[in-house]
Chains A and B, each alone.
Chain A
């Protein structure tokens, strides 16, 4: 049912073209309106006294000094807020066995990680609130902290939540075929350990929320930097005992999300609870230390894995044992078991083989909670898979491109179901690999590598194929009982001046959602993109929807917009046909004009139709429908997820004296189905790659054995900077999903999914002549020197 948008000369041909973002100009002029820019009458600020210990009992709380600070209005403890806010438990029914204790907005009896909010201080300035929070004296009785993932289930490790019975949050074993037999008889078996570091999103705009409670109307309004306004509406309503219809969440400009801003945070719920108690607007803007210690972390995984291949390089079996520590609570409402679950689902995704076993073990620990961050689970699964495949290729003396070509699903094999039981509608691994090899000129690069090696330079080429999960159905969260919409909607209306307004349930975080919607609607109705005003991020205004996560904006939100736009086009043409006494089938809308479909001759501008419908409806036939507003919703039904695929390559040089890696160039070919806006898709790929490069080379949250966060500042936690990043070449293969008219799948995670594996394989390609190998991210100079045996203490 996918519409071909291939003819570039068709009328209103905006889908598939680079169209400027309608909201970019205001942002370069500093006219964005982020939550911290909003000031409301009688607004107060809240700051939090947070736990300095990883695990402790809360004793007496002395607020005298804090109360004495000028400007302090009121102070709340965990017990205070427990009276007005019910706790939450982050489990999902389809993640069998997942457990997590109730969590409150402020810790009540016990703190379980460094940074957990304990006391909330409300004052008339942020400075006063912070000062008073620093004067709150809590008598903590320190408890033993659990910080090591691999020993969390040992008998002599303390149990963080005794009522849970043990420190196991979730475990899932998936087994397909006869794995043990395959390993026993295989030509070659290669084993390896991998580690991905705990890292975090570092959004430049910290988490931000401003909540107003109007008791006269019984209405809560939350201005919130969030990816999922409707989900937050439900959460505030449920836990603060407000009818859902009386909670409005407004999401204006958001300064970066990457998955960080799609979760329920205790301090944000506390802010809403305090606003309700005080009947005044309360603002909370996290500072940078709060960001590092309380934004969700991700990817703290330790993995043992092995691969079996035959003499021809065919993969016979893969066995993965994945462990992750998620902090003391599963994060509400998406849960913290998804990342490990994704590792099981996504490992070995590109490859056609029979025997697969993977287990994920998810344990509690006394560190910041982890949850979904850009490309959830993908970078881990791709690093394991592509690392193993490269090691197997080296073990049997095969080129890394060749071994992949021998194992990837043929492009004409689809639909197929993988050994992990993932259903693939249509992928293009071989076409993507062919394009990549051509773009990077693989043979020339190998020649350059050989030439460099003669000069004593260690350069490496790394390849990483991958699959990416996008366009999730209710199988992601809904079937587990979470009120997280997989459906999304769009209302498109024509106003009297002939302009079009599109209200969408998906949100803008800077990735270009509004540009994408404007061009889809422009093409669907037949107007210029500049004639389309897009409104997102207001639960009182837009259709109910899931928001922006799991690369669903274009595939789900875009499809709803296209269907609504085409419905509006039909309504407009019905009125036009009556006005022009013509057959609607012979009319078209182009560039905001009703035209003769065959000749393209102008018949009437849309504003004339608007004038008649809105002001002289008396001149139209009595029974003529004149609904110039249409709403459509879209949900995927045939596949649980729309998988995409791609392949990346990294070319880099390792300084074997210093251990420093210099990235020379990076390539990515990916297939997100219909490309709606080439520039925006390319930029999604590029930034995704850079976030992946950060995980590969720099980003690592450090804790000591007592659970103290050691690098909670931007000076100590390294992220990619302009000087170290390579130029990136991006190419596309387009295999539209047949589930929608638009045919779009997601593109937001592809870059992050593949980049760390590509870099790891490139480093190991460079170091192979020296007999060294790294598999623990990030690949810091120290780790590389240790692998080379140059650092041994």
Chain B
């Protein structure tokens, strides 16, 4: 294990629209790289084995578990976290809906939940509540009971669909 941590890998990637070059320990998880090396503390480490979704980030367009991916694997990738998605206003309607519906309490799951929900919403169309529940079933929330989150995502889907046809 010690040798593994000593091995370093050079990576180059785009994070939140900015180029990042770093030499990372080969065994370092992406979520730790983002949090510890880049100071991007929005996404959180929680279960650290791919179950809870608190570390969900966007990598090359997909919602990805930051705890199941090594930083070394992100070489050449385009990575977005909640910080970048906020700065570019890419998910501002979703964030507003979460605040208005109080679709968060402690906020620890929220950045990951937003990335997962944004992925679903990016497919467009009107979503059934069952579809939303199914898509978000990889993201734990212990504070809300989920209903408010489903409401918020549903309202954004309706809002976006309404804009598209207007």
Residues of B within 8 A of A24 (CB): 98-99, 102, 104, 107
Which residues from 125 to 141 on chain B have a C-beta closer than 8 Å to any C-beta of chain A?
Answer: 129-130, 132-134, 136-137, 139-141
Q: Is A690 an interface residue (CB 8 A)?
A: yes
- How near does chain B come to A778, taking the closest CB pair, in angstroms? 16
In the complex, whether A278 has a CB less than 8 A from a CB of chain B is no
Please name 10 further chain A to chain B contacts, defined as beta carbons within 8 Å, in addition to the given A131-B5, A511-B105, sorted by A numbering.
A30-B86, A33-B41, A36-B35, A37-B35, A127-B25, A510-B105, A510-B106, A512-B102, A714-B52, A725-B133
Cα(A69)–Cα(B106), bound, Å: 37
From 63 to 84 in chain B, residues with beta carbon under 8 angstroms from any chain A beta carbon are 81-83
CA distance A510 to B147 in the complex (A): 16
Q: Which B residues touch A37, using CB under 8 A? A: 35, 41
Would you call A30 and B102 a contact (CB within 8 A)? no
Task: Name B52's closest neighbour in chain A (CB-CB).
Answer: A714
The reply to whether A256 and B108 contact each other, CB–CB distance below 8 Å, is yes
A256 touching B133 by the CB < 8 A rule?
Answer: no
Q: Which 9 A-B pairs have the closest CB atoms?
A: A30-B42, A27-B107, A510-B106, A255-B108, A510-B105, A690-B145, A30-B82, A714-B51, A686-B145
What's the least CB distance linking B10 to chain A, in Å? Answer: 19
Partner of B139, one of A255, A258, A722, A724: A722
Q: Which A residues are in CB contact (< 8 Å) with B54?
A: 204
What are 6 inter-chain pairs, A to B, with CB distance below 8 A?
A28-B114, A29-B83, A30-B82, A37-B41, A205-B106, A255-B44
Complex interface bits, B42-72 against A, C-beta within 8 A gives 1, otherwise 0: 1111111101101000000000000000000
| B142, A204: Cβ atoms closer than 8 Å | yes
Chain A interface, number of residues (Cβ within 8 angstroms)? 61
Question: Would you call A512 and B46 a contact (CB within 8 A)?
Answer: no
**B150 touches A (CB below 8 Å):** yes
Contact B147 A727 (CB under 8 A): yes
Tell me whether A31 is interfacial, beta carbon within 8 Å: yes
Residue contact B142 to A512, C-beta cutoff 8 Å = no
Is B165 part of the contact surface with A, judged by Cβ < 8 Å? no
Interfacial chain A residues near B46, Cβ < 8 Å: 204-206, 255, 288
Q: In this complex, what residue of B is CB-closest to A726?
A: B147
Across the interface, B142 reaches (CB within 8 A) one of A30, A256, A715, namely A256
Q: How far is the CA of A256 from the CA of B145 in the complex (A)?
A: 13
**A719 sits at the interface (CB 8 A):** yes
- A contacts with B: majority SS: loop
Q: Is B155 an interface residue (CB 8 A)?
A: no
- Beyond A30-B82, A719-B140, is A510–B145 a contact (Cβ under 8 Å)? no
A-B contact count (CB 8 A): 182
Q: How far is the CA of A139 from the CA of B27 in the complex (A)?
A: 30
In the complex, chain A residues whose CB is within 8 Å of the CB of B42:
29-31
**Residues 381-405 of chain A: 1 if any B CB is under 8 Å from the residue's CB, otherwise 0?**
0000000000000000000000000
* Contacts A683-B105, A686-B148, A723-B133 given; does A29 touch B82 at CB 8 Å: yes
The interface residues of chain B lying within 8 Å CB-to-CB of A201 are 142
Q: Is B12 an interface residue (CB 8 A)?
A: no
Given A27-B110, A204-B109, A255-B44, are A679 and B102 neighbors across the interface (CB < 8 Å)? yes
**A687 part of interface (Cβ distance < 8 Å):** yes
Residue A781 CB within 8 A of the other chain: no
The answer to the question of B90 belonging to the interface, with a C-beta cut-off of 8 Å to chain A, is: no
A683, B51: Cβ atoms closer than 8 Å: no
Q: Which residues of B contact A255 (CB under 8 A)?
A: 44, 46, 106-108
Q: Are B147 and A728 in contact (CB under 8 A)?
A: yes
How would residues 167 to 201 of chain A score, 1 for a CB under 8 Å from any chain B CB and 0 otherwise? 00000000000000000000000000000000001
Interface centre among A30, A128, A714, A725 (most CB of B within 10 A): A30
Instruction: Give every chain A residue within 8 A of B142 (Cβ-Cβ).
Output: 201-204, 256, 258, 687, 691, 719
Q: Which of A254, A721, A751 has the most CB of B within 10 A?
A: A721
Bound form: Cα–Cα A715–B142 in Å? 15
The reply to whether the CB of A639 lies closer than 8 angstroms to some CB of chain B is no
Cβ distance A207 to chain B, nearest Cβ, rounded Å: 12
Q: Could you tell me the distance between the alpha carbons of A36 and B111 in the complex, rounded to whole angstroms?
A: 15
Q: Are A20 and B99 in contact (CB under 8 A)?
A: yes
Q: A714 and B104: CB pair below 8 A?
A: no
Residues of the B chain whose Cβ atoms lie less than 8 Å from the Cβ of A713: 47, 49, 51
Residues 1-54 of B contacting A (Cβ, < 8 Å): 1-2, 5-6, 25, 27-28, 35, 40-49, 51-52, 54
| Distance in angstroms between the alpha carbons of A51 and B111 in the assembled complex | 35
List of B residues within 8 angstroms of A689 by Cβ = 145
**Residue contact B144 to A683, C-beta cutoff 8 Å:** yes
**Chain B CB within 8 A of A662 CB:** no
Q: Are A721 and B110 in contact (CB under 8 A)?
A: no
CB within 8 Å of B: which of A16-40? Answer: 20-21, 24-34, 36-37
Contact with B along A200-217 (1 / 0, CB 8 A): 011111100000000000
Q: Which residues of A contact B132 (CB under 8 A)?
A: 722
Report the bound CA distance from A205 to B141 in whole Å: 11
CB distance from A677 to the nearest CB of B (A): 9
User: In the bound complex, what is the Cα–Cα distance between A691 and B2 (angstroms)?
Assistant: 41
Q: Are B144 and A34 in contact (CB under 8 A)?
A: no
